[in-house]
Amino acid sequence: MIVRDVVRLLNADVLSGEDQMDAEVISGGAADMLSDMLALCGPNQLVLTGYIQPQVVRTAMVSELLGLVFVRGKDIPSETIKLARQNNFLLLRTKSYLYASCGKLFAAGLKGIDER
């Protein structure tokens, strides 16, 4: 699956990393705790989360994630978006809730991080 497919499936807004629409996504997961992101994540993976503070972008970059998908249509702090843009890091936002978003991606064939 490529990022463009994720955007379409989740009806997501692209907040940062617009040039990564054709990047391959090999797996996905969900986490609201930064420690879980550090333990589970790696290259070409997306994590869906409700955690929107700037620390989540720093953690995702250290974990070498492809990007983050913010759920529930949250208002993202400008500092979070600014940090992502400065580092050309992929940020998406969907109005869908976490459970439904994960389900849509899984049903479309995206493997979970634990299935790679």
| pLDDT reported for residue 111 | 94
* Domain spans of the chain, in order of start: 3-111
Is residue 37 a contact partner of residue 65, using CB atoms and an 8 Å limit? yes
Q: Which CATH superfamily is domain 3-111 in?
A: HprK N-terminal domain-like (3.40.1390.20)
Distances in Å between the alpha carbon of 98 and those of 22, 60, 85, 104?
A: 23, 18, 24, 10
Q: What share of the chain in percent tops pLDDT 70?
A: 99
Residue 82 — pLDDT band, cuts 50, 70, 90? Answer: very high
Q: Is the pLDDT of residue 116 over 70?
A: no
Average pLDDT over residues 87-114: 96
Distance of alpha carbon 93 from its chain centroid, rounded? 8
| pLDDT reported for residue 39 | 83
Residue 36 — pLDDT band, cuts 50, 70, 90? Answer: confident
Distances in Å between the alpha carbon of 56 and those of 44, 48, 52, 60, 63?
A: 17, 11, 7, 6, 10
